[in-house]
Amino acid sequence: MRNKITKNIVDEQTLDAEIKETRNSLTTDRLDMSFGEIMAMYERGELVINPGFQRLYRWSQEQKTKFMESIILGIPIPPIFVAEDNNGRWELVDGLQRLSTIFSFFGSLKTEEKNINNWTLEAGELLTSLEGFSAESLPLRYLLNIKRSVCRIEIIKWDSKWDMRYELFSRLNTGGAILTEQEIRNSIFRSGLEKFYSFIEEAVKRGNFQKITQLTPKQRKELFDQELIVRYVSLVDEWNTVDASISLHATTFMRNLLEAHKDIDESTISRFYSTVDLLAPLGKETFRIKSVFSPSAYDAIMVATTHHLDYFSKHNDRLKAAVDAVKSNDEFRATRSAASSKTRTKKKIEIAMSIFSDLAK
């Protein structure tokens, strides 16, 4: 009993220390601002909506009307979360749907999409007479009421610990458009890995890459094509060190680059394009198992092909046999459904590397 009590005390002390350390790694502030003030900051470039967030603005007319109706009626609005950079600018973390609705109603949302700004209200659930009104026709007193309505702003300081920044981006998206892992990475790493992101944006446009991946519009909209590029770069030379999910491995890889003040190297870019070009003749079936795109097959075949570029460049007639052997391998197929697990990510690439090596002898 005494040992158990002692252990509980030690565990509690450890927990207390961990909570204190983690809380101290997060610096926050809060204030109340009117929507008019927030919109003015946005127009001056002091409030930034990352492109990776902006493209997720997809509230329906009914949802937008309901939100505007709530503001007009004085119904409390959930807080907006922003991250403050070293220059004092705010980057939106959570609240995209709400702020974009306000900005677009008044015609100030910065977007290349058509028919987003200056939209017209529908009949509200409580205010049916709202139907047909826009920012141009709504009485001034109600327009001013909207602009003067106050919203709580929760400010996350960017001197917070990196891990906490990532967790906040991951956890605070509550507006009905949850960010994908790649969208979260874009929000954190884009400004520090310019060369990497230039490569990503160029690579996803390449015809051969599109030919062998053949992603759906929904997958592209959610940046799955970018995700595939990052996965390759993070795995190609470090696949045998993976000890986490592929998603966390890719994120950690990018974080390590950033913290080491490095960027993607030219050899990785060159090998990626050479690999894609070599696989291109195999078409959309390259990474498909039973006609469904397999991220596991993509990871394994891309990495294995890169490491055997010299051989298969000279014997490209044997490449299809190697690819098919990977996809039909019983052990590989047994692991593909859990490609994000710690052990299986490495295992599936091991299998592909072994098959490619045997055929390259």
Return the pLDDT at 83.
79
Return the pLDDT at 87.
81
pLDDT(349) > 80: yes
Return the pLDDT at 265.
93
Alpha-carbon 36 to chain mean position: 29
Rounded to 10 degrees, the C-alpha dihedral 109/110/116/122 comes to 0
Return the pLDDT at 107.
94
Question: Where is average pLDDT lowest: 4-8, 84-88, 206-210, 331-335?
Answer: 4-8
Return the pLDDT at 2.
55
Q: List b or e across 341-352, with b for residues whose CB sees 16 or more CB atoms inside 10 angstroms.
A: eeebbbbbbbbb
Separation of alpha carbons 345 and 240, rounded Å: 9
**Token digits of residue 353:** 């590397």
Q: Which residue has the higher pLDDT, 198 or 179?
A: 198
Return the pLDDT at 182.
81
Separation of alpha carbons 300 and 86, rounded Å: 40
Alpha-carbon 236 to chain mean position: 21
Residues 312, 292 contacting (CB under 8 angstroms): no
Instruction: Give the number of other Cβ atoms within 10 Å of residue 195's Cβ.
Output: 14
* pTM over cut 0.75: no
SS3 29: strand
> Residues of the chain with pLDDT > 70: what percent?
83
Separation of alpha carbons 156 and 8, rounded Å: 34
Residues 102, 146 contacting (CB under 8 angstroms): yes
Question: Where is average pLDDT lowest: 21-30, 109-118, 140-149, 182-191?
Answer: 21-30
Sort strands 288-289 and 90-94 into parallel, antiparallel or unpaired: unpaired
pLDDT(160) > 90: no
At a CB cut-off of 8 Å and minimum separation 6, what does 152 contact? 30, 31, 32, 77, 79, 80
